[in-house]
Structure 1
Amino acid sequence: MRRRMINSLLGVVLVMVVVFCVPLALFEKRTIESAAQDRAGAEAVRLLGIVENRIAAGEPVGVGDLKGQVTDGSFAEVRIPGHGPIRIGSRPAGGDPVRAAQSGGRGESVVVEHSRQDVQREIGNMLLMLGVVALLAVQTAVALAVWQANRLTRPLKDLAETAERLGSGDPRPRDRRYGAPELDRVAEVLDSSAERIARMLTAERRLAADASHQLRTPLTALSMRLEEIIATEDPATVKEEAAIALGQVERLTDVVQRLLTNQRDPRSASAVTFDLDEVVKQQAEEWRPTLRGAGRHLEIEGLHGLEAVGTPGAVAQVLATLIENSLMHGDGTVVVSTRITGTSVVVEVEDGGQGVPPALGARVFERTVSGRNSTGIGLAVARDLAEADGGRLELLSLRPPVFALFLGRPVKER
């Protein structure tokens, strides 16, 4: 493209030079020839006038009287009836001189000749000057063409590099503008595309991280139930464990659906009124075997028979995250308690561990923030799930660690 632009602009300049210089050269050539002819004619008229004046005065006409009236390098011949020709100067070398002749009323005549070589030399100088001007014009055009081509191709190369970076997975916008409206528009579109791709990649990575974290616990519980089924030969136990496993599969499906729904629209939760005791008991039953395996216990305290507004699957995931957090980072007995405060139903999860370090207290719900070598995703996802249902998740106490899930209370009709 760069070469095409240079060739195009150079071709236009060459055409303009030819169109301008050729007629100008022809015009100047004719002007120079006409000027030489006019000079010869003027000398002939001047000589003839001197000759006529001297004849009219009865004075003789000699070479000395006329020599000063002829320019150097010119030749003049004066003929007077009854006298021999008077020649001034030498004839121009070469053929076809510039010739002018004048005749008087008494038969006298004057012929002036100028050298054609002088005219040709002047024409040559004129053509040389035009050639220099044309060459300078072409050189200037080449320089301008190269500058303009670089000015236009450099942004295009930059935009191509930006598009290549987008294709290779580097969606950072460059925010570069080039002073050309068309190129700036392309740059704006690429930057907007880069921002959209960055948001999409961030969302996809977040979904993958959330899914791997949130599905780990249900899959572990499901595998434990399947192991119980394999290990027992009692049909009643198999049936009971299979029923529990089926319920866990349903909750697992709910977790997947919940993750996908939150990925598309974090505010798309469909909160309903549900029995909070069922969710708490279900989580307690799932986590007690794991806690017993670690030499710990889980207890349920507080009010019973409470109803809350939210999504049971989301609330179960939040409680599972809090209990798992206590299992991994806490110590002692895990206590799940329920209470009412104002217009909210509160579920608190507490353990006897060392608690949350003060440096992490304000950032414990941020992604990738963790007190140990964990992902730091669980509490962030739990807070998102709680807020999607119109609730909130808070850290009430650093030591002992107390996490509280606030849910809305159903409005009772009177």
Structure 2
Amino acid sequence: MRARLALLVAGTTVLVLLAFLVPLAVLVRDFAEDRALSRAADVVQTIVPLVGDVDGLRLSVTAQPVPVTVFYPDGSVIGAAAAPTPAVRLAEARGRALSVTTDEGRELVVPVVGSGGTTVVRTLVTESELTHGVTRAWLTLAALGLALVLLGLLMADRLARAITKPISDLSETSHRLANAELTARADPSGPRELREVAGALNHLAGRIQELLAAEREQIADLSHRLRTPLTALRLEAESLRDPDESARVAAAADDVARAVTAVIKQARRRDAVPAAASCDAAAVVRDRVAFWQVLAEDTGRDLRRSLPDGPVPAGVAADDLGAALDALLGNVFAHTPDGTAFSVSLSPPAPVGGSAAPGVSGRAPGASGRSSGAASGGASGRAPGAASGGAILVVADEGPGFPESAARRGVSAGGSTGLGLDIARRVARSFEVGSADGGGAVVRLELL
């Protein structure tokens, strides 16, 4: 905007100056010519009365600032040496004063008619005399025009800066708000319209803070209400006669309690940028698979696993990875019939140019999962600066596949919340769903 305003002011100033200075330059030149011709005419008028006095004429001619020549009828010449020109002859023949433009300049001839014939007084105004002072005047006008253009550009730059600086501040504030810096506020400055925009942006930021705070507290309150049924569940687990069954149910209740506590802490956290997190993906996946294996055996499902023996570092929190895998496996149990086989595999990321994870034959357009999680790639919930490493997690089953409604977050054809695979998507750098070679569904997560 600053460049455009400067260009506009420069163009407008140049046009105004041209409309003013060009006629003024022509006027200066005409004035210089008129001044030189007027002075020459005054000299001639001074000489004309002395034509009859030869001695006085000689003294007067030599004293004039311009060359003057007097041509007598008998051919004698007084003054500057010069031959009779056509203008002199014409003035002598017609008896009329003439002003003629020649190669040397402007020639003035005045005839004086007497008893002995016509005497002609001639003077020559050279080109240098006609344009004396014009060049300097033109240079002065050009310098004045240039100074006015520069002054206009300076004023335009100041004006543009007064307009663009508040706009830049508004843009910076909006970017800070977009980066979850909700305490950012714009400084109302500049024109009235920009001050109104800054005030509206500040009001919007404050309103967003209020809504987020209310939402966090509501989530924390709802999560806290789960503690009572969880406590009852733990008491029921302790009352079971089978010690193994009691321990298993109590462990499950403890896991749910930890998840609820994590939700409460996350909801009440005021900072928008989470801290960096990392975990051993192999250990987390191994623990969660062992948990689900008991249910798989009860429902007659064949669980195939492919897990590395050593640690696999991943830039995601252990609780988040466990919740993501629980969501994927929970979908398998909830939306496939008993006896449906499924598999879980974890491997380090393939080198550049390597093949994709086995079992994926195609990517369902826009699909995300049975519980209607979004399937777009890219993690949105990982902390920046996570540990280096990475892993590929693939969960596949031999069930019916994904319904069309799974492409939309929050929509489920199976009566669920519609958020299951979105939980998994949030911990992954890339997230793909598709069909296995022999039928069924495949979910592939690439962890950072």
Q: Which has the larger radius of gyration?
A: 1
